[in-house]
Amino acid sequence: MTRTPDLTSPDLYRFWWEERVRFNDLDAVGHVNNNAIGVFFEQARIALLHGAGGFRDEDPWTVVLARSLIEYKAELLYPNTVRIGARTLRVGTSSITLGCAIFLGDRCIATQEAVAVIVDKAAHRPTPIPEPLRAKLLEA
């Protein structure tokens, strides 16, 4: 069994995405809510996958989220700007496991382990990862 690296370490990431905390991201007590945290992770995942060649209209495949495990480490307040690190943890036949973390400075706010599946747009079924995408993801 492969151990997941320490997702809370900023040194783990080569790909970074920046997001601003919006006032409407807050819950009733003034913390950034769990839905907003999920959106921050989604933005970073999509940016990483797009940069690797995913999410192109002309492709017969797309990428869908199959699993998301988020661990909350610290509160996040408004106003702030956070950085989200993202990296490939594993590349399978039709699925990709990504590790992500939200940082305020060097402080880890939350981590996510996400499994995304390559899906044929017409059949709505998993399909093998195209080789150009696989090569780029192995670098990320």
pLDDT band of residue 112 (cuts 50, 70, 90) is very high
pLDDT digits (tens, 9 = 90+) for 11-64: 999 999 999 999 999 999 999 999 999 999 999 999 999 999 988 999 999 999
Percentage of the residues of the chain whose pLDDT score is greater than 90: 93
Beta-bridge partner residues of 122: none
Specify if 2 maps to a domain.
no
**By residue range, what is the domain housing residue 77?**
10-139
Specify if 52 maps to a domain.
yes
Asked if the model's pLDDT at residue 4 lies above 80, the reply is no
**Structural domains of the chain, count:** 1
* Residues 67-83, mean pLDDT to the nearest whole number: 97
pLDDT on residue 2: 61
Specify if 47 maps to a domain.
yes
Q: What is the CATH number of the domain that holds 31?
A: 3.10.129.10
pTM (two decimals):
0.93
CB 32 within 8 A of CB 77: yes
| Residue closest to 34 by CA, chosen among 109, 90, 116 | 109
Mean pLDDT of all residues belonging to the chain: 95
